[in-house]
Structure formats: C-alpha cells, structure tokens
Chains A and B, each alone.
Chain A
C-alpha cells in the first residue's frame, strides 16, 4: 500500500460519515481535551479525586472492570490449548484479540491515573514483594506480553511471516499455561488490593474471600464478554454467530456465578452481614442489585437450555452478567469506601470523557484488526468441524505436524 492510497482511505473515511463515526469523533475530541487538562494542570484539575478519595472511576472502571472484562482471553485459551476443547477454536482468536486490546487499554488508562506515569516502569527494577500492587504490576506486564505473543500469529499470517508463526506456535502451550496462572494471580489480586482496608470498607464488601470473589466473577464475565463481542461483530461483519459454542460457554458463567453465590452466602454467615443486607440504604440496595441482576438472574437464565440456546436469551443473560460485574467492581472500589471517607465521589465529566475515549479507541482498534487480520474463521469452516477436514486433506506424518495443522490450518485459511 503506498502513501497515497492510505491518504485516500482516510479522506474516504471522512467522506462517508455515519452516526457511529461522528459519535467516535466527538468522544475522541472530548477525550483529547480532558487529556490536555489532565497532563498540564494535574489530576485535581481534571478529576473529582481528592485527599479524601484518592481512587475513582479510572481505577474502579478502567482498571478493575477493564482487566475483568478481558478475562475471556484466558478462559477460552485455557479451554482450547490446555483442555483441548477444539470446538472453542472458532472463538479463541476474537477472545485473545479482545483480551490483548483490553490490557493495552488498561495500561493506557493507568497512564492517566498514575500521578507520575513516566515512572510506570519502576516496578520492574524497584521491588516490593509485600505489595499487592507490585504483584499486579508484574502480572499485568507479563500477561500483556503473553497476550501479544498469543495474538501475534494473526499479524504474522497477514504479513506471511511463516517462520515467526511457527516459532510462536511451538511455544503456545507453555505460553497459555503461563497466561492462565498470571491471570488467576492478578484477577484475584485486584481483590486483594482491598484486603488492607478492613476498617474503611463497608462490611458488605469486605471479606477474606475478596481475591476469590474477584477471580470467580472474572471467570464468569469472560465468557459473557466473548458472547457480547461475538454478537456485535456478527452484526458488524454479517457473520453467523457460533451459537452452540457460545451457549456452552454460558454454562461456564453459570457455574462460576453459582460458586460465587455460595461464597457470598458463606460470607454473609461468617461476618454476620444480615443486618447490613437488610438495611435498605444505598449500599444495601446496590448489594441486592448486584446479587439479583448480576448473579441469581443469570444463573437461572443460563441453566435453562431454551434460554441459553436462544440468541436473544443468551445475549441478554450475558448483558446481565456484565452489568452485575461492573456493579460489583464499582461497589468495592467506590461505594464501599464513600461512607468511611465521608465524601460523595462522583466522576467529573473529564474523567468520564477519558474513559469513553479509551472505550471508543478499543472498539475502533477491534474493528481495524477484525477487518485486516484473520480474526474470525471463514464462514465455510464454521459449518463443518475443522479438525475432520484437516485429516482428509493432509497425510499426517507425526504428531507435531498433526497438532500444527489442527490448530493452525483452519484459522489461517
């Protein structure tokens, strides 16, 4: 592609303005304005954060929710590469792409939230193994690298770099194992961040089980996000939806949420939370909202085969799971602390605009990747089971080649 045609493409993009394109432009413009204010005048000028409320929307939503919503990557990668559930192969690439973009965006958001973002590399050389944040930093750095490698074959194929693709493929299993462990560690550690504030956190959200809650809800929300993303991209790219796979993934969410619910009940008994649960103040209502909308309702819906196997049923169940998840993270990071700090934190419009810009950039990056890289399997392959096909065409010499073909062939073609 020469420079001229690239330029023409951009002109073309602006000529064919659509509703969503103009929304995108407005969000990015507002975000850039807030970015300038944030970096020129400091965090105080752009945010509603204060000495009384040091962590707000950017930590609560962009980081805590962002990392959780990208959990689909490790859940699906584990299913395919560690548990050899080959059916999920059709969605492993979109899931890995979403996760990779998700983590990159979390790091972008961190650059806004950190007071001295130019020192973001410090945890690499200045160690404090007692700090949960230190552990999260390392896990996020390593896992983003792992995701970049898991994602790289899509780029290598695009540019016909077969050797590089083979090298990555030969280490994909250890990579995925490493990825699963890193994910487990930092997903749960995001919950551990709040273990050190027992006297500040509203009792409904303080628990020894915080790391387990965070991990379980991440496992539940990962498949839900993959589902939503499949639905949206099926509309955007006029593709068939992989319903049988997605409805089976729905079961994963249901199981994870069920364990989550049991732990929540155990928590209520252990800490005797009933007086708080049945006090219908803001905290009480939000607690019930999460448990009903984000936990009980999706469990019920996803365990009914008719709902799970129905496009709309599955989609709306996934939306509920994500809503409950976001509620939970915002509650732990914002609601649970407001009473103690005696403040009513609500993000400023500039905080919100930065978050929206980051989300918009995420959507744009996904679309760009989906258009130019082999993210989705070709339609024809979605109908016939891919592994059956590859035996017929190729005479298999050894296991390594077999593995190579069965996992690579269908996505590459």
Chain B
C-alpha cells in the first residue's frame, strides 16, 4: 500500500496570523471573513483558546465515518490519505454531517442545489506534488505536511525533546482508529476544544458489526419464513381435507375418491 500523507498541527507554534485561513479561502474562492468557525465558506479556521491558537480542519480519518455512512459513496478515503467529496454523486442526505465525530462537513443551507463542504487537504495540489495551501502559507510552521508515519515520528521526537512544552499525547494517533491530521499541544486537549471522550475504535466498526450479519439473516430468515409457510399451509390442507371427509360422509357422497 502506498504511504499515506497527513498534516501535523503543532498548536504551540501557531501565532494566529490567519494566513492559512486566507490561503484556504483563496483556493476555494470563499470570501475572507473574521468568523473563525468552520462553515460552508470556511474549510479551515484558527480558533483562540486562552493563549493558544488552534487551527481546525478536516481530520481525514484513517477509517472515516462520513465515507462509511454515505449511501452513494460521494465521500471516500483516497489511497494517498485525503478524504474527498464528489458532488455529482451526493444526494444531500447529510448523514456525513450527522456521523462525523469532529463535526467537519458543513452544508450550503441556503442554496437550492446545495453541496457538502469540507477540507480535501488540497487533493489536486498534492497530486501535482505541491503542499496543501494552508501548509504552504503558514509562516510559523505550525502545520507540517508529509507522510503520516514520518509526521508521527516527528511528533514523538518533539515531545521527547521538549517534555516541558508538550503534553504526552498526539491527538489523532489513535482517536477513532487514527486520523491523517494529527495534533500536538501544550495543554490538555479538552481545554482546547477537542473531544477527548472519543473511542479508539474506528466508528464504522460500530455499524459494520451489525451490517455484516445481514447476508446471514437473509438466508436464515428466508428459510425460516418459507418453513413456517409450508408448515401452516400443510396444517390447513390437512384440516380442510378432514373437514371435507366429514362433510362427504354426512352427505353420503364420495368426496374422498376425488382426491
């Protein structure tokens, strides 16, 4: 399998200059605004939590809930790592938004032919050998683009070399089965607006446990139903035959012979 790429976000390095937001807006053709919340016009934002600036973007899960729930496969995890969206397949059910543990996919609520919007890690740029726009724009190297395993090694190295600066946790290494966007922080992630109660299991596993039993069910259920039909049908036939026998005797006719 090809090595997957990812983005390492070091929140201790971010200076809150918003260059990434601007670069992202330019790349998507979104307006430049001062609202620092993900929306259908913001695929990455920088949020301030106390003294710390926290860049947010799609986590590009290893086993993404959004891609697993999409009934038409409009979202999918590429071999390279980014999770991308194909508007031409989308039916607009918004199950991706419902299922995403990070509430990343957003919707064009006020358009008659709406799209889901989310970061695609600048997939087209990556394919051309370039870096994502936000990484390229970052003057503080708070976002680093590279192969995920190498990024994790780098993160480990930073934690070991500066144990005072960093807490001993790489967010995204194991959360929901691992993500391609991973974070370093100087304080507890819960204080930076991260969800820290996430399971280590990839979320699609929760549904697959049930979904994978469906073929079994169809086979057993179908057989059982047919069996019930046959049993009760036979019972009914016998009852009817006996009824006719009785009827025939009292009539004096010979209904039995007909059978």
A-side residues, CB < 8 A to B, are 39-45, 49-52, 54-55, 78, 81-84, 86, 113-117, 119-120, 122-123, 126-137, 173, 177, 180-181, 184-185, 192-193, 195-200, 211, 391, 396, 399, 402
Whole-angstrom distance from the CB of B62 to the nearest CB of chain A? 15
Judged by a CB distance under 8 angstroms, whether B1 is at the interface is no
Complex partner residue of A116 from B73, B114, B243, CB under 8 angstroms: B114
A-chain residues with CB within 8 Å of residue B139 when the two chains form the complex: none
Most B Cβ at <10 Å: residue of A83, A130, A136:
A130
A-chain residues with CB within 8 Å of residue B98 when the two chains form the complex: 54-55, 197
Complex partner residue of A42 from B91, B103, B111, B206, CB under 8 angstroms: B111
User: What separation, in Å, do the CA atoms of A41 and B113 have in the docked complex?
Assistant: 9
User: What separation, in Å, do the CA atoms of A49 and B195 have in the docked complex?
Assistant: 23
Whole-angstrom distance from the CB of A146 to the nearest CB of chain B? 14
- Chain B 25-39 per-residue mask, 1 if CB under 8 angstroms from chain A, else 0: 000000000000011
Q: Which of B49-57, B141-149, B183-191, B233-241 contacts A (4 or more CB under 8 A)?
A: B233-241
Whole-angstrom distance from the CB of A78 to the nearest CB of chain B? 8
Whole-angstrom distance from the CB of B74 to the nearest CB of chain A? 8
A-chain residues with CB within 8 Å of residue B95 when the two chains form the complex: 131, 133, 193
User: What separation, in Å, do the CA atoms of A209 and B122 have in the docked complex?
Assistant: 40
Judged by a CB distance under 8 angstroms, whether B17 is at the interface is no
The reply to whether B233 and A132 contact each other, CB–CB distance below 8 Å, is: no
> Assuming the A-B contacts A177-B226, A181-B218, are A55 and B110 also in contact, with contact meaning beta carbons closer than 8 angstroms in the complex?
no
The reply to whether B221 and A42 contact each other, CB–CB distance below 8 Å, is: no
> Assuming the A-B contacts A133-B93, A177-B225, A180-B225, are A128 and B111 also in contact, with contact meaning beta carbons closer than 8 angstroms in the complex?
no
A-chain residues with CB within 8 Å of residue B232 when the two chains form the complex: 82-84
B-chain residues with CB within 8 Å of residue A84 when the two chains form the complex: 229, 232-233, 235-236
B-chain residues with CB within 8 Å of residue A177 when the two chains form the complex: 222, 225-226, 229
27 A–B contacts from the bound complex (CB under 8 Å): A42-B109, A45-B110, A51-B40, A54-B94, A54-B97, A84-B233, A84-B236, A115-B92, A119-B92, A123-B71, A126-B73, A126-B89, A127-B72, A128-B68, A130-B204, A130-B207, A131-B69, A131-B71, A135-B211, A137-B71, A180-B221, A181-B217, A184-B217, A196-B207, A197-B98, A198-B203, A402-B240
Most B Cβ at <10 Å: residue of A83, A127, A128, A185:
A128
Whole-angstrom distance from the CB of A94 to the nearest CB of chain B? 23
Whole-angstrom distance from the CB of A108 to the nearest CB of chain B? 15
Whole-angstrom distance from the CB of B219 to the nearest CB of chain A? 10
Complex partner residue of B195 from A44, A55, A193, A199, CB under 8 angstroms: A199
User: What separation, in Å, do the CA atoms of A190 and B187 have in the docked complex?
Assistant: 40
B-chain residues with CB within 8 Å of residue A120 when the two chains form the complex: 91
B-chain residues with CB within 8 Å of residue A114 when the two chains form the complex: 91-93
> Assuming the A-B contacts A135-B211, A198-B199, A198-B206, are A44 and B73 also in contact, with contact meaning beta carbons closer than 8 angstroms in the complex?
no
Judged by a CB distance under 8 angstroms, whether B65 is at the interface is yes
The reply to whether A134 and B72 contact each other, CB–CB distance below 8 Å, is: yes
Whole-angstrom distance from the CB of B208 to the nearest CB of chain A? 7
A123: nearest residue on chain B (CB-CB)? B71
Most B Cβ at <10 Å: residue of A40, A115, A181, A192:
A115
Whole-angstrom distance from the CB of A193 to the nearest CB of chain B? 7
In the A-B complex, list the 8 residue pairs whose CB atoms are closest, starting with the nearest: A115-B92, A44-B109, A134-B71, A133-B71, A84-B232, A126-B72, A116-B92, A54-B94
B-side residues, CB < 8 A to A, are 38-40, 65, 68-74, 89-95, 97-99, 101, 103, 106-114, 195, 197-199, 203-204, 206-208, 210-211, 214, 217-218, 221-222, 225-226, 228-229, 232-233, 235-237, 240, 243-244, 247
Complex partner residue of B198 from A81, A133, A199, CB under 8 angstroms: A199
A-chain residues with CB within 8 Å of residue B203 when the two chains form the complex: 196-198
> Assuming the A-B contacts A127-B73, A193-B95, are A82 and B229 also in contact, with contact meaning beta carbons closer than 8 angstroms in the complex?
yes
User: What separation, in Å, do the CA atoms of A122 and B103 have in the docked complex?
Assistant: 25
Most A Cβ at <10 Å: residue of B38, B93, B101, B235:
B93
User: What separation, in Å, do the CA atoms of A123 and B72 have in the docked complex?
Assistant: 5
Whole-angstrom distance from the CB of B53 to the nearest CB of chain A? 22
The reply to whether A123 and B91 contact each other, CB–CB distance below 8 Å, is: yes
B204: nearest residue on chain A (CB-CB)? A130
User: What separation, in Å, do the CA atoms of A287 and B196 have in the docked complex?
Assistant: 27
Q: A130-B69, A184-B217, A192-B211 known; 7 other A-B pairs, CB under 8 Å?
A: A45-B110, A51-B103, A82-B225, A115-B114, A116-B91, A133-B70, A137-B71
User: What separation, in Å, do the CA atoms of A285 and B108 have in the docked complex?
Assistant: 35
> Assuming the A-B contacts A42-B114, A181-B222, are A131 and B214 also in contact, with contact meaning beta carbons closer than 8 angstroms in the complex?
no
B-chain residues with CB within 8 Å of residue A78 when the two chains form the complex: 225
A178: nearest residue on chain B (CB-CB)? B222
Whole-angstrom distance from the CB of B33 to the nearest CB of chain A? 15
The reply to whether A82 and B228 contact each other, CB–CB distance below 8 Å, is: yes
A81: nearest residue on chain B (CB-CB)? B229
User: What separation, in Å, do the CA atoms of A133 and B69 have in the docked complex?
Assistant: 7
Whole-angstrom distance from the CB of A249 to the nearest CB of chain B? 18
B-chain residues with CB within 8 Å of residue A40 when the two chains form the complex: 112
A-chain residues with CB within 8 Å of residue B39 when the two chains form the complex: 51
Complex partner residue of A51 from B70, B99, B107, B214, CB under 8 angstroms: B107
User: What separation, in Å, do the CA atoms of A190 and B107 have in the docked complex?
Assistant: 23
B89: nearest residue on chain A (CB-CB)? A126
The reply to whether B114 and A132 contact each other, CB–CB distance below 8 Å, is: no
The reply to whether B229 and A173 contact each other, CB–CB distance below 8 Å, is: yes
A-chain residues with CB within 8 Å of residue B99 when the two chains form the complex: 196-197
The reply to whether A184 and B206 contact each other, CB–CB distance below 8 Å, is: no
The reply to whether A41 and B207 contact each other, CB–CB distance below 8 Å, is: no
The reply to whether B73 and A51 contact each other, CB–CB distance below 8 Å, is: no
User: What separation, in Å, do the CA atoms of A133 and B66 have in the docked complex?
Assistant: 12
The reply to whether B90 and A51 contact each other, CB–CB distance below 8 Å, is: no
A133: nearest residue on chain B (CB-CB)? B71
The reply to whether A185 and B97 contact each other, CB–CB distance below 8 Å, is: no
User: What separation, in Å, do the CA atoms of A83 and B107 have in the docked complex?
Assistant: 48
A-chain residues with CB within 8 Å of residue B208 when the two chains form the complex: 130
Most B Cβ at <10 Å: residue of A84, A113, A135:
A84
Whole-angstrom distance from the CB of A313 to the nearest CB of chain B? 30
